[in-house]
Amino acid sequence: MQTAIPCVLMRGGTSRGPYFNASDLPADKETRDRVLLAVMGSPDLLQIDGIGGATTITSKVAIVSPSDHPQADVDYLLAQVSIDRAFVDTAPSCGNMLSGVGPFAIDAGMVQANDGETLVRVRNINTNSLIDAVIQTPGGQIEYEGSTAIDGVPGTAAPVVLNFREIVGSITGSLIPTGKVKEVVEGVEVSCIDVAVPMVILAASALGKTGYESKQELDQDRAFMSRLESIRLTAARLMGLGDARGQVPPKVSLLAAPRDGGNISSRYFVPTACHAAHAVTGAICVSVCTALKGSVADGLAQHDSDPPKSCVIEHPSGRIAISLDLEPDGDLMRINSAGVVRTTRKLFAGQVYVPTRVWDGS
């Protein structure tokens, strides 16, 4: 016996995964997570018995529901489904998967489409933050075709504009959780920052890297990856995140000076492998880091204005551009909002099946 669950598979930015109406999933977390593991085919390195893509960027789930927040239309919960463990992490968010939330909500009847563009106000449950998503809806219909290209995705599509509000202290409650813009952790200078996602940011040269390595080069250097994880775990405790073993936050970024016309180069980790491109939330945090005087990015980032109005981040698959609304605030910055342009595409809609015993716990 199998249980059928309504599902829409979408590419959101440089990620891909199933989107669910929260009402179609079990209400209790334990059963819900068990179902999501079965949907994706975890734990299994190939995810052969599910619809997961056997990579971190294709093992994500978006759960959407109408919101009771006065400034939001819908709630969005991101579930990062582990590939090799029976674990579902809802601590981090994903700005790429977020780009599909607006179209999904419109299709599901949670938001009425306008002619031209439709604003979908989203509350991210993972980080308790608010995002305005602007969806192209000519004639009141969702438009997926367009001329916008984003690095890490072939071809072009219609733009989805995401404006992130109230993003400071997403999990820790503070822009600088340790109280120091830069400090030494295990002999290495790092900046621990929490904007959209908690991050441990360091110069690539501090670990003997150029910062221009490919994902494969970094992933295959086991000694380097072990060292990076040790630094991440120590920094997590300093940030008030406790024991981060097996947890996704904090994320890590290696920085280097730009070399292809951008403002900074970044290698972003998720966290035990290098991202093939760059996470949106991570790009926002890195962008803010480049604006903070005295951070590890100071001297590496190249900006034309102070504070910068935008930041173009070079990553393994190309570049990602973040717009910034910043104001000086003493020695730090007041972050009013940050924006990014993504694209999305609906791949299929139907039902995904899980064994009935998974849903009922038998």
The model's pTM: 0.78
**CATH architecture for segment(s) 2-167+344-360:** Roll (3.10)
The H helix count followed by the E strand count for the chain is 7, 16
Q: Is the pLDDT of residue 107 over 90?
A: yes
Give the list of residues 6+ apart from residue 141 with CB closer than 8 angstroms, or none.
113
Return the beta strands (E) in 96-137 as ranges: 116-124, 129-137
pLDDT tens digits for range 229-245: 999 999 999 999 999 99
Q: What is the pLDDT of residues 170-188, one digit of tens each?
A: 899 999 999 999 999 999 9
- Per-residue pLDDT at 92 exceeds 90: no
Would you give the DSSP letter of residue 359? H
For residues 170 and 198, is the Cβ–Cβ distance under 8 A? yes
> Contact at 8 Å (CB) between 275 and 269?
yes
The confidence band for 361, taking pLDDT boundaries of 50, 70 and 90, is confident
* Residue 270, both tokens: 């998720």
- Residue 222, H or E segment: helix 222-238
**Phi/psi at 91 (5° precision):** -75, -45
pLDDT tens, residue by residue, 262-272: 999 999 998 88
Length of the chain: 362
Tell me if residue 38 falls in helix, strand or coil. Answer: helix
Average pLDDT of span 81-93:
93
Break the chain into its structural domains and give their ranges. 2-167+344-360, 183-336
Question: If you classify domain 183-336 with CATH, what class do you get?
Answer: alpha beta
**Do 183-336 and 2-167+344-360 fall under one CATH topology?**
yes
Q: Is the pLDDT of residue 38 over 80?
A: yes
pLDDT category of residue 305 using cuts at 50, 70 and 90: confident
